[in-house]
Structure 1
């Protein structure tokens, strides 16, 4: 999730970051196939926060598009390419890795923009354009910003095809984290305990009915269920009141200069002050992106797209919630100090692993209830 189309995949070795090669067939099966369906495009196109941000960014900053060449990375239905053309672009190259390109091409023609927009089916890493472009536009953001690794393809496009004076839409991004309270922590713990109770009943039935002792599998089953219920981050649209501490920025990205290595492994230390007496049930992560242009060619009106819990009705991205088990009692004025690390999964480069290592500190300086946990963003 998290794109107007999908970020083209390819071999991520070489000048774009030096990370491991990706099997294109496996990558397509795991990721791209989802974006080839109109129902998924409709879900994203129905996100008004998302749509309004991109629409306003383009039409409030027409000077970046008027008479310019534009590259839309992962065009999906083609909506960003169409808006770019409507804002006055001379030429728009709309790159799409799936058969959604056929729908995009039909939509472009239905809006009489086929003389301006050229839809190209293929991976961004494999596409060759006849010219450099003035603008690269893309909605590359996944859950907690970097899940899906689509920004890799945007970086590739930028390094290959953006003019030295070109602009990126969006131009900047930030990742945030904050402590939260949530009944999900208790629910997931209960779900895990229920799964283990069911397993033990299964062992007894199998032994009594079929004469086979399967208890040797209890440990791997418990590890499997623990990962699913207690270590996998959750999608949620949180209410602002569930945020119990000051939010902190854990990563800032300049889309004009960031490299794949900059985002492949993130490490940050942050602190948060607890605002009330409650339980620390975990942490929430979200992001915002900004359309600022570049220093030499700024936006006439800067637009922000945020997925924070404060957004009315939320977005399709929601927030990623990382639950602690058990929850920790906290009090107004406590400091929560956290060491945050996020790396790409070894099994699937589009998924992430997050490690939180922290402690709660009382105003008196006393320490209590340290915590450390690894999570999977899947």
Structure 2
């Protein structure tokens, strides 16, 4: 699952913004989490996730039969085992953490030790004995691109996939839509409580200890605003909380996309408000598709979606970008939204998002444009 490389052989790994990445620090901050079974279990209990990959493999077994498969970021090894059960000749299951020890035990317990080779190491460092017919990976992070793991999948594809090979999944899309939620009011209350507590702290420190801490009020305020008001939230929204037409902000062909295509994501999209309510922010989610390729399409195309759902939420949920204050909107109001997402300079696995919005009411009145910056952490 390592994505510390920009996919160019011979260069030092960077975070996509030209800043060199310390692989040891990156491992400590990111990979260590995936080395624990409790975290693997959370993903394995995600029925939407599991059903999509299971159906994609077993409804298209002819893609796997007799083929060589590379599983990037194998984790517990379940995708590798399913590939073998579908008839793969050989499966290379690459994993950067000590989860490889559990994966090997699981492979052996299911009698696939002669088919599946579990390899511990970052994808950028691993050498395979052959090129493969299929690359399978569950690389998606919050709002698709958080964690930057797709970098490693791209690297694996460019180095190890045969001409005419397949990517599982083959395509991905990022979506956004206007939404309503009481979370905005709650977060504003939390911010105000934190600032009131700070002001009391400043007063008491000066009264009892003779030190004026007020010079630190401005940076403390900036910290709290970022934490409470500018950091996107994880949520599993109900479909009725979406108050406007969803729009695609990014489409990715996993067979052709480059790292450059995903470092800086920019989009302008429109949405029409569907009811009279409060616009409390925007929700972001993704879907991926298993289509095979144009020369060998899937017999049954499978979709995995993380859209707001009545009863089938996922561990990815949606990313919620809250507006403070909320904006009154009416049915038929139109909005044009500008969206940009870049990697954080401090941590290439985290994201910074800028949203700008122009609103035209049904009456024809143009509302003042607003813009906000957010952090996906």
Measured against the shorter chain, the TM-score band is over 0.9
- Provide the residue aligned with 2:245 in structure 1: 246
Contact 2:98–2:120 (CA<8 Å) still a contact in 1? yes
Contact 1:339–1:358 (CA<8 Å) still a contact in 2? yes
Alignment of 1:153-302 (within 5 A): 153-302=152-301
Return the offset for 1:369: 3.9
Return the offset for 1:69: 0.3
Contact 2:2–2:152 (CA<8 Å) still a contact in 1? yes
Provide the rounded CA distance (Å) in 2 between the counterparts of 1:179 and 1:9: 32
Contact 2:72–2:95 (CA<8 Å) still a contact in 1? yes
Provide the rounded CA distance (Å) in 2 between the counterparts of 1:11 and 1:84: 27
Contact 1:244–1:275 (CA<8 Å) still a contact in 2? yes
Give the direction of change, closer, same or farther, for the CA distance of 1:311–1:142 in structure 2 (3 Å limit): farther
Return the offset for 1:311: 5.4
SS in 2 for 1:189: helix
Provide the rounded CA distance (Å) in 2 between the counterparts of 1:322 and 1:112: 46
- Provide the residue aligned with 1:4 in structure 2: none
Greater Cα offset, 200-209 or 167-176: 200-209
SS in 2 for 1:14: coil
Counterpart pick for 1:10 among 4, 8, 27:
4
Return the offset for 1:371: 1.4
- Provide the residue aligned with 2:357 in structure 1: 358
Q: Deviations over 1:91-120 (max 9, x none)?
A: 000000000001000100000000000000
Provide the rounded CA distance (Å) in 2 between the counterparts of 1:281 and 1:293: 39
List gaps (5 residues or longer) in structure 2: none
Provide the rounded CA distance (Å) in 1 between the counterparts of 2:256 and 2:358: 34
Return the offset for 1:313: 3.3
Provide the rounded CA distance (Å) in 2 between the counterparts of 1:199 and 1:13: 46
Greater Cα offset, 216-225 or 304-313: 304-313
Provide the rounded CA distance (Å) in 2 between the counterparts of 1:348 and 1:336: 32
- Provide the residue aligned with 2:58 in structure 1: 59
For the aligned residues, what is the CA RMSD?
A: 1.2
Greater Cα offset, 297-306 or 360-369: 360-369
Q: Deviations over 1:70-105 (max 9, x none)?
A: 000000000000000000000000000000001000
Q: How many residue pairs end up in the alignment?
A: 372
- Provide the residue aligned with 1:3 in structure 2: none
Contact 1:12–1:22 (CA<8 Å) still a contact in 2? no
Q: Deviations over 1:243-294 (max 9, x none)?
A: 0000000000000000000000011001100000000000000000000000
Contact 2:279–2:326 (CA<8 Å) still a contact in 1? yes
Contact 1:328–1:369 (CA<8 Å) still a contact in 2? no
- Provide the residue aligned with 2:98 in structure 1: 99
Contact 1:144–1:320 (CA<8 Å) still a contact in 2? yes
Q: Deviations over 1:6-58 (max 9, x none)?
A: x1243326259983332100110110000000000000000000000000000
Contact 1:9–1:24 (CA<8 Å) still a contact in 2? no
Contact 1:342–1:352 (CA<8 Å) still a contact in 2? yes
- Provide the residue aligned with 1:71 in structure 2: 70
SS in 2 for 1:346: coil
TM-score by length of 1: 0.97
- Provide the residue aligned with 2:24 in structure 1: 25
Greater Cα offset, 214-223 or 201-210: 201-210
- Provide the residue aligned with 2:336 in structure 1: 337
Contact 1:171–1:294 (CA<8 Å) still a contact in 2? yes
Q: Deviations over 1:134-161 (max 9, x none)?
A: 0000000000000000000000000000
2:108 is the counterpart of 1:114: no
SS in 2 for 1:31: helix
Provide the rounded CA distance (Å) in 1 between the counterparts of 2:373 and 2:197: 25
2:46 is the counterpart of 1:47: yes
SS in 1 for 2:339: strand
TM-score by length of 2: 0.97
List gaps (5 residues or longer) in structure 1: 1-6
Provide the rounded CA distance (Å) in 2 between the counterparts of 1:300 and 1:99: 36
